[in-house]
């Protein structure tokens, strides 16, 4: 890729690029649509050769056959590939690359031996610089097409390296009663099979090294049909294993499992039968639990294996630092943090001298958020529990004036929330998104409500996958300066919400 050295991009921040000056130069890679003389129906062909025209936001190649779009996994723009049909729909088809006939320079040999079978990392065949650029373009495309918006400035794409970043993983277990075979690993791509793995290149090495022994331990369980799944989690210092069982654990086996966990200094948590939350089996709570830190804000966050945390701690640190820089909190200001979780952003804002109203949807997270604030000596943070996907205007905290707002919603977005916070007239709104489509929808609504998109950019929380996260800054329009796309944006938001 001209102008980009992928090895150099594994540092903290990729140099800022505008979408117009993209270094991938997709235009050069676009090709004419593939055509055939009187072709057979797509579903009846054993193999099809396609020319890939461009990349889609989720990292698949796009071609056409019989004037029908075909989305091709494992293909890059400008390549000619032989594909196998994986699904055919009325308006489009999906396919998987079987052989690359004419590769482009942006392709690399996937480093992982499980690539193509494991359902986790779908874009390892791309050089890392291309992965980053596609994600930035995905944010730009959704904002442009769905909301008709473009930020005044594109932020640098945040990255913290492409390998060994993940501090949480879910391991599936599948017991075949007929063959008496137990499989332990990751879910396969597009089916319910389990791909057995002995290591994982995106997993924190402290967790990856546990994989070989876990299979042998699970094989010793006397009632394999009761095995559910395993969660492996790492904090800054400690590791934990959470085992889901459909019935109470076998006592003799549990004793042996505990002995192994003690030798590994691995916390053991169990969720048995009808339990809705796991409990710590070993060690005793006073011996220290899981935690992560944000050194830039002198903050420590205690959590359990069942709590939501960002799985890429290095990127999380960069994300919180960037969010606080955009929010520009001043001492004495009041900040509203919606979808606050454990206080990932709340404690950073409080450390800057703000009074923080932190709101989260689950009682357990609110309790841990308040405990984290107290443990860090931040009395100016108060956590509240509320359903932020519904009307919350009746809540006691909801009517208080605020200076700035930060939101970190789930994939469904924050349509109700942005309508409310715009009425509070904060000077800045920072929106953290794990779904560019709902970010675009909510950005259109904010534009209609008088808030202009100032800055936006992608964040690579999940390298080697097509998952895209984004961050955006909104500020009030100057009087009389509401956006040209405001009316269209509001109509789009109503369509998503069913209003109007």
| Separation CA 471–CA 315 (nearest Å) | 13
To the question of whether residue 339 is assigned a binding role by annotation, the answer is yes
Q: Which residue from 187, 266, 270 is spatially nearest to 221, judged by alpha carbons?
A: 270
Q: Is 434 a catalytic residue?
A: yes
Contacts of 137 (CB under 8 A, 6+ apart): 19, 22, 26, 55, 57
Range 403-425 burial, b when 16+ CB lie within 10 A, else e: bbbbbbbeeebbbbbbbbbbebe
Evaluate the CA torsion angle 105, 111, 116, 118 in order and state its sign: negative
Residue (of 279, 267, 213) closest to 241 by Cα position: 267
Phi, psi of 176, deg, nearest 5? -95, 110
In contact, 82 and 72? CB cutoff 8 Å: no
User: How many CA atoms within 13 Å lie on the side-chain side of 317?
Assistant: 16
Task: Give backbone dihedrals phi and psi of 436, rounded to 5 degrees, phi first.
Answer: -60, -25
Asked whether the bond before 260 is cis by omega within 30 degrees of 0, the reply is: no
Whether residue 303 contacts residue 292, with contact meaning beta carbons closer than 8 Å, is answered with yes
408 is in an annotated binding site: yes
Q: Of 144, 140, 129, nearest to 23 (Cα)?
A: 129
Structure tokens at 133: 């650029």
Consult the annotation and say whether 112 binds a ligand.
yes
**Cα–Cα distances in angstroms (integers) from residue 166 to residues 172, 257, 310, 490, in the given order:** 17, 24, 9, 38
Q: Among 384, 388, 428, which residue's Cα sits nearest to residue 412?
A: 388
The annotation status of 370 as a binding-site residue, yes or no, is: no
- Helix, strand or coil, per DSSP, at residue 347: helix
The tokens describing 407, both together, are: 């939101």
Q: Which of 261, 280, 385, 434 is catalytic?
A: 434
Provide the pairing of β-strand 355-360 with 80-88.
Answer: unpaired
> What interhelical angle do 211-219 and 251-264 show, nearest 10?
160
The reply, when asked if residue 344 is annotated as ligand binding, is: yes
Work out whether the CA dihedral 69, 73, 77, 80 comes out positive or negative. Answer: negative
Q: What tokens appear for 451 in the block?
A: 């808030």
d(CA 4, CA 1): 6
The residues assigned a catalytic role are 434
Show binding-site residues.
112, 118, 121, 200, 310, 339, 344, 360, 387, 408
Show binding-site residues for S-adenosyl-L-methionine.
310, 339, 344, 360, 387, 408
Show binding-site residues for [4Fe-4S] cluster.
112, 118, 121, 200
């Amino acid at each position: 890729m001209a102008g980009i050295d992928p090895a150099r991009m594994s540092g903290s921040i990729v140099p800022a690029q505008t979408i117009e000056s993209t270094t991938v130069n997709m235009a050069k890679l676009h090709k004419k649509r593939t055509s055939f003389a009187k072709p057979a129906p797509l579903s009846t062909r054993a193999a099809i050769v396609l020319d890939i025209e461009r990349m889609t936001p989720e990292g698949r190649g796009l071609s056409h056959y019989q004037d029908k779009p075909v989305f091709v996994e494992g293909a890059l723009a400008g390549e000619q590939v032989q594909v196998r049909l994986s699904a055919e729909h009325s308006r489009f088809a999906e396919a998987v690359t079987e052989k690359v006939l004419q590769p482009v320079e942006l392709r690399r040999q996937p480093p992982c031996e499980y690539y193509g079978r494991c359902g986790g990392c779908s874009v390892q065949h791309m050089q890392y610089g291309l992965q980053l650029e596609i994600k930035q373009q995905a944010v730009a495309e959704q904002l442009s097409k769905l909301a008709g918006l473009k930020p005044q400035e594109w932020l640098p794409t945040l990255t913290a390296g492409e390998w060994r970043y993940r501090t949480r993983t879910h391991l599936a277990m599948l017991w075949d009663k007929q063959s008496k075979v137990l499989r332990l690993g990751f879910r396969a791509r597009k089916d319910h099979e389990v791909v057995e793995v002995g290591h994982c290149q995106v997993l924190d090495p402290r967790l990856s090294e546990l994989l070989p022994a876990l299979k042998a331990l699970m094989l010793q369980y006397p009632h394999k049909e009761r095995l559910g799944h395993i969660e492996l989690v790492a904090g800054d210092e400690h590791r934990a294993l959470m085992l889901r069982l459909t019935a109470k654990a076998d006592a003799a086996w549990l004793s042996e499992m505990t002995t192994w966990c003690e030798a590994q200094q691995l916390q053991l948590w169990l969720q048995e039968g009808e339990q809705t939350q796991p409990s710590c089996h070993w060690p005793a709570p006073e011996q220290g639990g899981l935690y992560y830190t944000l050194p830039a804000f002198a903050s420590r966050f205690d959590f359990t294996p069942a709590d939501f945390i960002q799985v890429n701690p290095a990127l999380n640190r960069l994300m919180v630092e960037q969010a606080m820089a955009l929010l520009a909190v001043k001492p004495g200001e009041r900040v509203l943090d919606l979808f606050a979780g454990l206080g990932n952003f709340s404690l950073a804002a409080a450390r800057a001298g703000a009074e923080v109203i932190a709101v989260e949807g689950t009682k357990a997270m609110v309790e841990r958020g308040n405990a984290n604030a107290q443990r860090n000596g931040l009395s100016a943070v108060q956590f509240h529990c509320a359903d932020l996907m519904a009307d919350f205007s009746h809540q006691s905290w909801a009517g208080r004036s605020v200076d700035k707002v930060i939101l970190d919603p789930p994939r469904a977005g924050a349509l109700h929330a942005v309508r409310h916070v715009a009425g509070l007239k904060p000077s800045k709104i920072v929106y953290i998104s794990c779904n560019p489509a709902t970010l675009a929808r909510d950005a259109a609504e904010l534009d209609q409500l008088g808030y202009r998109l100032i800055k936006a950019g992608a964040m690579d929380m999940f390298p080697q996958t097509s998952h895209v996260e984004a961050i955006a800054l909104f500020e009030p329009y100057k009087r009389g300066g509401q956006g040209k796309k405001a009316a269209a944006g509001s109509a789009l938001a109503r369509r998503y919400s069913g209003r109007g």
